[in-house]
Amino acid sequence: MADYVLTVLAKRRVLLAAAVERAQAELTKRRAALRALDASVARYQESQTGRRPRGPREHQTIRLALTVLRAAPEPMTLRAVALRVMAARGQDATDAGVVRTMLERTRQSLLRQQRKGLVRATQGEGQAVLWTICS
């Protein structure tokens, strides 16, 4: 009896694992289609307005960066802010390419907020720039 139960459970697991793989493959295809559609919309909007629209990820980046800076007890470097944003987004901080991309996104976002007067950059030790929320 126990062998039969284990056999049935093993078969169910195989079927469920296959269904999960099919769903992940479908999700990957749909994400690619969504990216292509977003790129088309951005190209069309850019041709109509002459400027590139910002996407939802940029807004998410700055929201998370501002949250990180608000919670920080002291000014933070760009790298520290970017790594905490990556952690909040569940991104892999060991992938150098992803870290470089997030550093640039965070830097651009913080510079925009600095022009608006929401954050301040100060000189730290050496060439380090420290970011903080304006009070």
CATH number, domain at 120? 1.10.10.10
Domain range holding 96?
56-133
Query: Counting Cβ atoms within 10 Å, is residue 69 exposed (0-12), middle (13-18) or buried (19+)?
Result: buried
Tally the domains of the chain.
2
Strands 76-77 and 119-123: unpaired
Cα-only R_g, the chain: 22
What sign results for the dihedral spanned by CA atoms 3, 6, 11, 12? positive
pLDDT in tens, the chain (135 residues): 778 899 999 999 999 999 999 999 999 999 888 888 888 887 777 677 666 555 555 578 889 999 999 999 999 999 999 999 999 888 888 989 889 999 999 999 999 999 999 999 999 888 889 999 987
Considering the domain architecture, whether residues 46 and 5 belong to the same structural domain is answered as: yes
- What token pair was written down for 88? 């909040």
Considering the domain architecture, whether residues 47 and 66 belong to the same structural domain is answered as: no
Q: Which residues pair with 30 in a beta bridge?
A: none
Considering the domain architecture, whether residues 86 and 37 belong to the same structural domain is answered as: no
Considering the domain architecture, whether residues 23 and 1 belong to the same structural domain is answered as: yes
What sign results for the dihedral spanned by CA atoms 47, 51, 53, 57? positive
Considering the domain architecture, whether residues 79 and 40 belong to the same structural domain is answered as: no
DSSP 3-state of 120? strand
Considering the domain architecture, whether residues 49 and 62 belong to the same structural domain is answered as: no
Considering the domain architecture, whether residues 35 and 62 belong to the same structural domain is answered as: no
Considering the domain architecture, whether residues 80 and 123 belong to the same structural domain is answered as: yes
What's the whole-model pTM score? Answer: 0.57
**Dist CA 42 CA 35 (whole Å):** 10
